[in-house]
A = this chain, B = another copy of it.
Amino acid sequence: MGTVSRVLNGHTAVSAETRQRVLAAIAELNYSPNLAARRLSRGKTMVIGALVPYFTNPSVVRRLQGVVSVVKGSQYDLILFDVESVERRDSYVRNVLRRQIVDGLLMISLTPTDEDVAELQRAHMPTVLVDARHPQLSRVVVDNVAGGYMATRYLIDLGHRRIAYISDFLDDPFNSPVRDRFTGYCQALAEAGIPFRPEYHLQGIHGRSAARQMMRQLLQLPDPPTAIFAYSDTQAIGVLEETQAQGVAVPQHLALIGFDNIEASEYLHITTISQSLYASGISGCELLLQTMTEPPSEPQELLLPLELIQRQTTDPLLPTSA
């Protein structure tokens, strides 16, 4: 009935008396509105979607926790879309759109293609990127070039000259931070007059065991590095496992710096570049909610700070470099 709807939504004037009557009836019948019907007539789903790659990645989970904390305080529900493989990533965007299942979309650590963005804009889907960048979409990011520079520069300042970079695949089109941090790494080397050595840059799929393998490979070089910059803390853990297995002392014989500051890096005492993962989820979700109520005239960019956290895998006093 129309009047009931007016009472529930309070848009137009309803007399105090009828409001009471309606509310009493609602209470008595234990009535609550059917969401599907409301969604159909309002044309809104009251759901926001989070598109995340590799839901097993601790940094992604941490960001998501930030998102959840914001969603919880809003009127919206959160649907999780786990993108398991990069190849199928684009089909996800399309799928989410055509099913008209969400009012807004959060893409975490996934760079959309231009076609994706075109589709999103054609569908007028409010979208915010977290840890990814596209000129036409609002985003929450860090300066990964600066981060790569900061880490490498720190190792250089400790006296290291043979510095390796262990990372995901550079050519992954959906993971730009890998390239950005690599750029920073190269910049810091160049600035210090240290030539880039290709054998010091190893790439592999993300994860502890792949990183461990890469570390093994580095240790077999005739001229092994004295310091490692790992693209992520997860990979730094893999590095640490290999050094432990081979009896290489850290930080005495090898310095190690990671990236992200996930919880594990804290209790493993890994020196790292901290990016506020949790805060990025919060900001991203807040930005999305805001975008949904009043779309900004042009894409916003929120730049979160990076901070070097010195722990026990680097020794600030006694560098042991060659």
Contact = CB atoms under 8 A, between A and B. Distances in A.
A32 interface: yes
30 contacts: A32-B98, A32-B99, A34-B100, A35-B45, A35-B99, A35-B100, A35-B101, A36-B39, A36-B40, A36-B43, A39-B39, A39-B40, A47-B79, A55-B65, A56-B65, A68-B80, A68-B82, A69-B82, A72-B82, A72-B84, A77-B81, A77-B101, A79-B79, A79-B80, A80-B80, A208-B267, A241-B267, A264-B264, A264-B267, A268-B268
3 nearest A-B pairs in the assembled complex, by CB-CB distance: A36-B39, A32-B98, A36-B40
Contacts of A208: 267
Copies of this chain, whole number: 2
A78 B77 contact: no
B36 A45 contact: yes
A37 interface: yes
Nearest to A49: B77
A61 interface: yes
A276 B208 CA distance: 20
Contacts of A47: 79
Contacts of A267: 208, 237, 240-241, 264, 268
| Most interface-central of A55, A78, A80, A208 (chain B CB within 10 A) | A80
A239 to B, nearest CB: 11
Contact of A36 (B78, B80, B98, B100): B100
Contacts of A68: 55, 80, 82
Contacts of A99: 32, 35
Contacts of A80: 68, 78-80
A236 to B, nearest CB: 11
A100 B84 CA distance: 29
